[in-house]
């Protein structure tokens, strides 16, 4: 079992790397240019120790000091250092561009995916977790990718070039260094295996904590109202402790890399220094004979040769975190999108048929079974029933927020599964009990119903929805900026703006799901009057708990346990004395 898990983890990691490379491949010319600059940086960096060695040989072992040679070398070294700085800066600029272009592409792809995900995914996943994947996980991935570009290329090139230089000076010492140094890579590989798992758990824990904090902030009033602060703190402590443990383990494993590889490299450096020192005082005919300048050059090269192994091992460890985060983002990107139809629906009469509908949010718990409804164009249909009977679910099926498990929903004879979702939804105006407003001006929020609407049209719609009065009392009227979800407005005002949005759009079909639940009685009466005009000759579905508001509906569907138990007009249902009559009379009895 453990072996299968290791194989699975290894396969997932390889798959993630391939996906990352596909994104990086879009910028292959920039990557190629960065590689060329890395070659230039390494070439000039490796030239400096040779020049320094020559300068030392110009002093040691000579009868006099060759000042002309030393002066020439100093000028060349200064030029090389300046060249390294310029090339390094250019390379960093390119690496930054590639890294943040890749992360921009991934974020854009993730957001596009979210717009195409079925609502069942959004409803079944914590919003904070999804936000964490798009923001925090991509940010962590960017850090690891940038480190890789910055150090990996130059590190690999440095190792190859330095080895060649060392072999040219003394092949025995060069070969010894080349054979001993990879020990640090084996150590890094061992650590990386453990750190990837820990970083993945850390990323998941961070997402859970983000989801919890987001939930707490959005429901702070509920927490305070029920004095739930202590329990909330206990819940946070549990998630915080889990994140702490996983973070500690991840950092522990990753922090082992640097000291262990540095220890190996220090041992190698000591060996080269010791062997080189004896070589400098050995006979001229010795196999490992060296000048002092050559020894200094070799020692410098040993440092330069081993340093990339430290950096690469650090990159490998950090890259485990990056890959763990990337895998979570790719999980989101690769979620199955909601399927869409191919037909556009132009003019809509408004005939709606629900035939033999079966639906459930959870397969093991049927909600709607064998439901049949026929609605003619222009009819006002009210849907009533106790909480949880399936009223809002019926609306979700009409709008294709969810698809039926069995049967069909048809509009003017077209199965909605054959229609493009945006085409179907453009023909429906919808006002929900839960309002949604974006950060922007009042005008921008209203015009979402009809992009490009004139100011006159917006004002006319606001007057029809009875929102014009409170809008004009705001600091800048229609140009007043409201916060996210209309934080500065009352619930009733937010609902009026959503109604105004529909009034502006004037769609051929309407869906009103408790559209006036947060509005005072007097304003509700005015809105109902406006709705009467708005829904005239338009097919409309109205979900309402206050049954007095739907007495004029052409047809009332009475639902119970996912089934339509009664249907008819208000008067006919009252006359029957059934379930609807009991609901209606109970409301007035309470009053």
DSSP state of 343: B
Q: Do 328 and 425 reside in the same domain of the chain? A: no
Residue 85 lies inside a defined structural domain of this protein: yes
Is there a single domain that holds both residue 168 and residue 69? yes
Say how many C-beta atoms besides its own lie within 10 A of residue 547's C-beta. 19
Give the Cα separation of 293 and 300 in Å (integer).
Answer: 11
Are 438 and 579 part of one and the same domain? yes
> Do 299 and 219 share a domain, yes or no?
yes
Does residue 14 form part of some domain? no
Of 333, 361, 386, the domain-final residue: 333
Task: Tell me the CA distances in angstroms from 507 to 374, 449, 466, 540, one per residue in order.
Answer: 20, 9, 19, 10
**Gap between the Cα atoms of 513 and 528, Å rounded:** 13
> Does residue 411 lie in a domain region?
yes
CA end-to-end span of the chain: 65
Are 465 and 569 in a shared domain? yes
Residue 363 forms part of a structural domain? yes
Tell me how many domains the chain contains: 2
In a domain, 498, yes or no: yes
Question: In the chain, how many H helices and how many E strands?
Answer: 22, 12
- Please give the model's pTM, rounded to 2 decimal places: 0.65
Domain identity same for 182 and 313: yes
pLDDT for 86: 92
Q: Closest by alpha carbon to 384, among 566, 113, 534?
A: 566
> Does a structural domain hold residue 1?
no
- Whether 282 and 411 map to the same domain: the answer is no
CATH classification of the domain holding 359: 3.40.50.300
DSSP state of 337: P
339: in domain: no
Cβ partners under 8 Å of residue 242, min gap 6: 205, 208
Cα angle: 323, vertex 32, 156; to 5 degrees: 60
pLDDT tens column, 426-461:
888 887 777 778 888 889 888 887 888 888 988 988
Q: Which domain holds residue 254?
A: 21-333
Phi first, then psi, for residue 357 (nearest 5°) are: -75, 130
272 shares its domain with 417: no
Same domain membership, residue 206 and residue 119: yes
Q: Does residue 362 share a domain with residue 306?
A: no
Mark which of 273, 301, 333 sits at the end of a domain. 333
Show the low-confidence residues of the chain (pLDDT under 70).
1-13, 58, 60-65, 149-150, 182, 184-185, 188-189, 191-194, 196, 218, 220-227, 257-258, 281-289, 310, 313-314, 317, 484-487, 515-519, 523, 526, 530, 587-591
Assigned domain for 341 exists: no
How far apart CA 149 and CA 103 sit, in angstroms, is 14
Is residue 381 within 8 Å of 543, Cβ to Cβ? no
Q: How much is the pLDDT for 287?
A: 52
325 and 371: one domain?
no
How many alpha carbons fall within 13 Å on the CB side of residue 135? Answer: 10
Choosing from 305, 333, 361, the residue where a domain stops is 333
| Whether 471 and 534 share a structural domain | yes
Domain with residue 232: its CATH number is 1.20.1560.10
Q: How far apart are CA 312 and CA 309, in angstroms?
A: 5
């Amino acid at each position: 079992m453990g072996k299968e898990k290791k194989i699975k983890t290894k396969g997932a990691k390889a798959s993630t790397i391939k996906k990352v490379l596909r994104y990086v491949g879009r910028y292959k010319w920039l990557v190629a240019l960065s590689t060329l600059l890395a070659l230039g940086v390494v070439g000039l960096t490796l030239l400096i120790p040779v020049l320094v060695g020559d300068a030392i040989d110009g002093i040691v072992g000579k009868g006099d000091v060759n000042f002309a040679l030393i002066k020439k070398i100093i000028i060349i070294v200064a030029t090389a250092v300046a060249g390294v700085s310029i090339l390094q800066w250019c390379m960093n600029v390119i690496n930054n561009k590639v890294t943040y272009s890749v992360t921009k592409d991934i974020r854009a792809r993730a957001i596009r995916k979210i717009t195409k995900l079925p609502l069942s995914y959004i409803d079944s996943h914590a919003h904070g977790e999804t936000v964490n994947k798009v923001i925090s996980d991509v940010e962590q991935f960017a850090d690891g990718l940038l480190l890789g570009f910055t150090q990996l290329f130059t590190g690999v090139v440095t190792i190859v070039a330095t080895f060649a230089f060392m072999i040219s000076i003394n092949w025995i010492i060069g070969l010894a260094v080349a054979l001993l140094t990879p020990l640090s890579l084996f150590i890094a590989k061992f650590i990386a295996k453990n750190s990837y798992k820990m970083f993945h758990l850390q990323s998941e824990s961070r997402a859970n904590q983000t989801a919890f904090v987001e939930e707490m902030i959005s429901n702070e009033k509920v927490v305070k109202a029920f004095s739930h602060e202590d329990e909330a703190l206990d819940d946070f402590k549990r998630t915080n402790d889990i994140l702490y443990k996983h973070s500690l383990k991840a950092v522990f494993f990753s922090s082992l890399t640097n000291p262990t590889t540095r220890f190996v490299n220090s041992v190698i450096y000591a060996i080269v220094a010791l062997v080189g020192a004896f070589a400098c005082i050995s006979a001229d005919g010795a196999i490992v004979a060296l000048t002092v300048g050559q020894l200094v050059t070799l020692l410098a090269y040993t440092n330069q040769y081993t340093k990339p192994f430290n950096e690469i091992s650090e990159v490998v460890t950090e890259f485990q975190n990056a890959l763990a985060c990337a895998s979570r983002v790719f999980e989101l990107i690769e979620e199955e999108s909601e399927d869409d139809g191919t037909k556009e629906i132009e003019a809509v009469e408004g005939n709606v048929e629900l035939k033999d509908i079966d639906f459930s949010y959870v397969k093991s718990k049927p909600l709607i079974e064998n439901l049949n409804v026929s609605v003619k164009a222009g009819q006002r249909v009210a849907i009533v029933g106790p909480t949880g009977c399936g009223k809002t679910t019926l609306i979700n099926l009409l709008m294709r927020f969810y698809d039926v498990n069995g049967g069909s929903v048809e509009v003017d004879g077209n199965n909605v599964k054959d229609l493009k979702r945006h085409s179907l939804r453009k023909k429906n105006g919808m006002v929900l009990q839960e309002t949604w407003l974006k950060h922007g001006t009042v005008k921008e929020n209203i015009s979402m119903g009809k992009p490009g609407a004139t100011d006159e049209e917006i004002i006319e719609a606001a007057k029809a929805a009875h929102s014009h009065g409170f809008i004009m009392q705001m600091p800048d009227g229609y140009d007043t900026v409201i916060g996210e979800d209309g934080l500065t407005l009352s619930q009733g005002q937010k609902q009026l703006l959503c109604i105004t949005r529909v009034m502006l759009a004037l769609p051929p079909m309407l869906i009103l799901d408790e559209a006036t639940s947060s509005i005072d009685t007097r304003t509700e009466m005015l809105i109902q009057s406006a709705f009467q005009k708005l829904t005239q000759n338009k097919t409309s579905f109205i979900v309402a708990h206050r049954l007095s508001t739907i007495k004029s509906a052409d047809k009332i569907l009475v639902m119970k346990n996912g089934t339509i138990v009664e249907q008819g007009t208000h008067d006919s249902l009252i006359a029957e004395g059934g379930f609807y009559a009991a609901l209606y009379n109970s409301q007035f009895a309470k009053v």
